[in-house]
Amino acid sequence: MKLSGRFAPLRANTLPLIAMLAAVLVVGEMATDIFLSSLPTLAFFFDTSTSRVQLTLSVYLFGFALAQLFYGPLSDRYGRRIPLLAGTGLFVVATIGAALSTSIEMLIAFRFIQALGGAAGYVIALAIIRDMHDRDMAASMLARMGTVIGLAPAIAPVIGGYLLVWIGWRANFVFLAAWAVLIMVLFALFIEESNRHPDPQAMRPLKIARNFGQLMRNRAYLGYTLTMVFAFATFFAFISGAPFVFIEVLGVAPQNFAWLITVQVVGFVAGTMLVDRLTRRIGMEKLFEIAVLIAALGGITTGLLPWLGIASITGIIAPMVVFAFAMGIIFPLGTAGAIGPFPHMAGSAAALLGFLQSAAGAAFGVLVGVLHDGSVIPMTSVMGLTTSLSLAVFLLLLWRRPGEDVGTVATEARSDV
């Protein structure tokens, strides 16, 4: 689909394209972040338990995960524009429904539908990046997008906290709906179709199964994907438990809690800003290895400190800033490393990556809620566990063996295609 008139399509590797795709990518994720400060309030408002309120997060993540499996093949078959606009439209309708909810059950149901629409932006934005750039340039694009991607989930809890105090929890959903409508309009005007070779077979069940099977048999794809999956599960565990730990256990005010979450952005953005320079200097694979080790240091420290009697705000936030710095590097390099070798099915590769990431996040988020006992230990222990799993996967699948060239794993990925 061509754009005409005074609305010229955004070109590859330009700042406007980076900003636009970053905004598209974070729409669905903001639906979780803006909502965090409201979780304790919802338990009181609907007179329900902490674990039931946390289902509004977990159900969203499960729906987000499942929908990504659908949008990937759909965009490989029919192109990127129409599925993204349709999915974001569904997100808007469900978000309005969530704002009007009169029971926790109704809110949970609309959150699931909201996720089915919100997943479109995440999967399709990643596929568009791969459509328009090769693997190394895709990593560079994702790194440059990292500032926007990092700032959005950091600013969202701040906005959500103040909307909660000034207006009420429903205002969070009104803001989300307005944001999504704006993104739809801008995307429709300025992003042209990037899938130049749609696959007519992409939606056939056997073709989908074959594509996903090829991805899961690929050592590099599996290594990059699962390393990222468990690393992001650390973030999801933190997001799920932090409102209750900081507000209820450590006594932080809701509007101040949002600022604590924002501190991590400094680390994340610092990591993304160094990716281009360090990749040119030491190589993509080596930099990814260093980042995984730094993430392990931060995440495992977060898990250990409360067991040593250090259960404080600083004891959680400080090592998480280190972890966030590493994630600023892991996110662009890991995504490009996983999706890069599969230009012919970029949508499916992005979808499977997103599905596994969201499903693991939801599962560990539920675990944090189930284990919640009025202390910081359940949340931080799960965070230490997920970080350890990320490190273990990396060492098993991606860490170069003695005598093995650094680029061998990446080469294996391309030779499997």
Cβ–Cβ < 8 Å for 91, 180 = yes
Q: What is the pLDDT of residue 304?
A: 94
Domain range summary for the chain, segments of one domain joined by +: 15-188+201-416
Q: What is the DSSP string of 131-174?
A: HHS-HHHHHHHHHHHHHHHHHHHHHHHHHHHHHHHHT-THHHHH
CA distance 245 to 312: 10
Per-residue pLDDT of the chain (417 residues; tens, 9 = 90+): 444 444 567 676 677 787 788 888 888 778 877 877 787 888 888 878 777 887 888 788 788 888 988 888 888 888 888 899 999 999 999 999 999 998 999 999 999 999 999 989 888 888 888 788 776 677 777 777 766 666 676 677 778 878 888 888 899 999 999 989 998 998 888 888 887 877 787 788 888 888 889 999 999 999 999 999 999 899 888 877 887 888 888 888 876 776 777 777 788 888 888 888 888 888 888 999 999 999 999 999 999 998 998 888 888 999 999 999 999 899 889 988 888 788 777 778 888 988 898 888 878 888 887 887 888 899 999 999 999 999 999 999 988 644 444 444 444 444 444
Q: What is the pLDDT of residue 177?
A: 94
* Residue 94 in tokens: 């469900």
Residue listed under structure tokens 């007179």? 47
Q: Exposed, middle or buried, 44 (CB in 10 Å: 0-12/13-18/19+)?
A: exposed
pLDDT tens for each residue of 62-121? 888 889 888 888 888 888 888 999 999 999 999 999 999 989 999 999 999 999 999 898
Residue listed under structure tokens 């909307």? 163
Q: What is the pLDDT of residue 141?
A: 74
Q: What is the pLDDT of residue 402?
A: 40
Q: What is the pLDDT of residue 7?
A: 59
Cβ–Cβ < 8 Å for 276, 136 = no
Q: What is the pLDDT of residue 114?
A: 95
How far the first Cα of the chain sits from its last, in Å, is 29
* Residue 33 in tokens: 């972040």
CA distance 239 to 251: 17
**What are the C-alpha distances in Å from 351 to residues 208, 357, 393?**
11, 10, 20
Q: What is the pLDDT of residue 96?
A: 95
Long-range contacts of 99-103 (CB under 8 A, 24+ apart): 99/170, 99/173, 99/174, 99/177, 100/170, 103/46
Q: What is the pLDDT of residue 413?
A: 45
- CATH top class, domain 15-188+201-416: mainly alpha
pTM above 0.85, yes or no: no
Q: What is the DSSP string of 193-213?
A: ---SS--TTTTSHHHHHHHHH
Q: What is the pLDDT of residue 5?
A: 42
